[in-house]
């Protein structure tokens, strides 16, 4: 094993700390001992392989993938962007899984007790994969804000949950995409747990270019996964 093999480290100037006291649930769920450094081996530089073959015909259109008796309510949007590594290399054919609340801020999940209506025509789960240049796109309904129990009058900003594998077990990422101009961002302990300089990377840009005229507003959200170490492997 050699530490030159594989992928660049997690950049702890970009990621939130495990223990972020304003996000109360971290208190009992964050590791208290320092992480143990692990030299990357085949176990870490390989990883689950999921791409286009995992995406069903309607998976990338959340406005249609659960439409039963009509169309879901809310503002239709298109979310698009590129998945890159730290060296700006496109990551082709990598699966993205997304899940989100409906326009009223209610999740389909049985444990969501928020007193806002479910939408019989909206599920909120979907998938897409990147193309050869790293581009992905899916159509959905803009998710609503929802209250949560972290503190008195706490509301999550509008957001979409993203899950990506990338090329290895080391590049795994789960994150959230937020919307520009949301007044709740400055009040949200989950968003604010992110180092200040990195927060902007979680906020999509409005994109007229990605907008489908007469149908859906466009948002651009690029995602950067860990890059590769440059030192070539010996034999």
Partner 1 sequence: MTQKQTPSQTIGPFFAYGLTPEQYGYNLTSIAAPEVAKKDQEGERIRIEGQIFDGEGTAVGDAMVEIWQADAAGRYPHSADSRGSNADFTGFGRVGTGTDPEQRFFFETIKPGAAGDGQAPHINVIVFMRGMLNHAYTRIYFSDEVEANAADPVLAGIPDDRRGTLIAKRDDSSAGPVYRFNIHMQGADETVFFDL
Min dist CB 183 to partner 1, Å, is: 19
Closest to partner 1 by CB, 192 vs 217, is: 192
Q: How many CA atoms lie within 13 A of 26 on its CB side?
A: 12
Min dist CB 80 to partner 1, Å, is: 15
Map the footprint of partner 1 across residues 46-105, applying CB under 8 A: 46-50, 54, 56, 66, 84-88, 95, 97-99, 101
Closest to partner 1 by CB, 175 vs 211, is: 175
Q: Locate 106 and state its tokens.
A: 């209610």
Nearest to 60 by CA among 97, 102, 109, 105: 97
Map the footprint of partner 1 across residues 128-157, applying CB under 8 A: none
Min dist CB 106 to partner 1, Å, is: 10
Q: Is 43 in the site for partner 1 (CB under 8 A)?
A: yes
Q: Which residues of 104-141 are buried (b: 16+ CB within 10 A; e: fewer)?
A: bbbbbeeeeeeebeebebbbbbbbbbbeeebebbbbbb
Closest to partner 1 by CB, 135 vs 169, is: 169
Closest to partner 1 by CB, 58 vs 211, is: 58
Min dist CB 210 to partner 1, Å, is: 18
Min dist CB 19 to partner 1, Å, is: 9
Own/partner contacts of 53-60, CB < 8 Å, gap of 24 or more, are: 54/95, 54/127, 54/129, 55/95, 55/127, 55/128, 55/129, 56/127, 59/126, 59/127, 59/128, 60/126, 60/127, 60/128, 60/137, 60/138, 60/139
Count of chain residues binding partner 1 (CB under 8 A): 85
Name the one range near partner 1 by CB under 8 A: 13-21, 136-144, 179-187, 212-220.
13-21
Among all residues, which ones are annotated catalytic?
A: 107, 146, 156, 159, 161
Name the one range near partner 1 by CB under 8 A: 43-51, 72-80, 134-142, 211-219.
43-51
User: Contacting partner 1 (CB under 8 A), which of 107, 136, 138, 179?
Assistant: 107
> Cα separation of 97 and 135, whole Å?
14
Closest to partner 1 by CB, 52 vs 211, is: 52
Beta-carbon contacts of residue 109 (< 8 Å; ≥ 6 apart) = none
Map the footprint of partner 1 across residues 154-213, applying CB under 8 A: 161, 163, 168-170, 172-176, 190-191, 193-195, 198-199, 201-202
> Cα separation of 58 and 60, whole Å?
6
């Amino acid at each position: 094993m050699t530490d030159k093999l594989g992928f660049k480290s997690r950049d702890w100037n970009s990621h939130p700390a495990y223990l972020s006291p304003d996000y109360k649930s971290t208190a009992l769920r964050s590791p208290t001992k320092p992480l143990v450094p692990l030299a990357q081996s085949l176990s870490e530089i390989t990883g689950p392989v999921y791409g286009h073959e995992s995406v069903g015909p309607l998976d990338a259109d959340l406005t249609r993938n659960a439409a039963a008796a009509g169309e879901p309510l809310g503002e239709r949007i298109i979310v698009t962007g590129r998945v890159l590594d730290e060296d700006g290399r496109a990551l082709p054919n990598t699966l993205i899984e997304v899940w989100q609340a409906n326009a009223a801020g209610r999740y389909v999940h049985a444990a969501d007790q928020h007193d806002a209506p479910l939408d019989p025509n909206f599920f909120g789960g979907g998938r897409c994969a990147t193309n050869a240049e790293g581009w992905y796109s899916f159509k959905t309904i803009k998710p609503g804000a929802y209250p949560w129990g972290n503190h008195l009058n706490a509301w999550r900003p509008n957001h979409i949950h993203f899950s990506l594998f990338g090329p290895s077990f080391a590049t795994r990422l789960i994150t959230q995409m937020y919307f520009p101009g949301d007044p709740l961002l400055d009040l949200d302990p989950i968003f604010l747990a992110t180092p200040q300089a990195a927060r902007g990377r979680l906020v999509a840009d409005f994109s007229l270019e990605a907008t489908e005229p007469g149908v859906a507003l466009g948002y651009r959200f690029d995602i950067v996964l860990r890059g590769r170490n440059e030192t070539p492997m010996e034999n």
